[in-house]
């Protein structure tokens, strides 16, 4: 009786459909990489029918991998490029987009706080 009502629910119950797609893609690519596949081979295991959505999701999966490997574990991009068998230009572009996203989020948050009078 000490169990909470939500403990028996599936792990992804509270995720949106798009979050479930992203999580499944990330899991599939990471599983492929763990088996020694390069990024493209690991990505081929992701089943998303809409080509544009698939590319967007895989671009984001690559960004997560860069965040984990480069920013968290401090692995140089050239080593990640070799491990994933991707050109450096693609990794550098993804990293630049990530930094731009962070900058845009910070600016938006700042202006939202000013409007609410909580900029401090």
> pLDDT tens for residues 54-97?
999 999 999 999 999 999 999 999 999 999 999 999 999 999 99
Quote the mean pLDDT of the chain.
Answer: 89
* Rounded-to-integer distance, Cα 117 and Cα 120, Å: 8
- Number of H helices and E strands in the chain, helices first, is 5, 0
pLDDT given at position 18: 87
* Rounded-to-integer distance, Cα 35 and Cα 43, Å: 13
Does residue 19 surpass a pLDDT of 60?
yes
pLDDT given at position 1: 47
pLDDT in tens, 42-54: 999 999 999 999 9
Does residue 5 surpass a pLDDT of 70?
no
Q: Is the pTM of this model over 0.75?
A: yes
pLDDT given at position 50: 93
Does residue 118 surpass a pLDDT of 70?
no
The answer to whether the CB of 32 falls within 8 A of the CB of 45 is yes
Domain boundaries, the chain: 11-116
* Rounded-to-integer distance, Cα 21 and Cα 53, Å: 10
């Amino acid at each position: 009786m000490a169990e909470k009502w939500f403990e028996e629910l599936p792990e992804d119950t509270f995720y949106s459909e798009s979050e479930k797609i992203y999580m499944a893609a990330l899991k599939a690519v990471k599983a492929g990489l763990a088996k020694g596949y390069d990024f493209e081979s690991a990505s081929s295991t992701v089943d998303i029918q809409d080509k544009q959505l698939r590319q967007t999701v895989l671009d984001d999966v690559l960004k997560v991998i860069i965040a984990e490997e480069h920013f968290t574990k401090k692995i140089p991009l050239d080593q990640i490029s070799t491990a994933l068998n991707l050109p450096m230009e693609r990794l550098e572009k993804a990293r630049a987009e990530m930094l731009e996203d962070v900058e845009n989020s910070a600016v938006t948050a700042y202006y939202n706080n000013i409007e609410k009078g909580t900029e401090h």
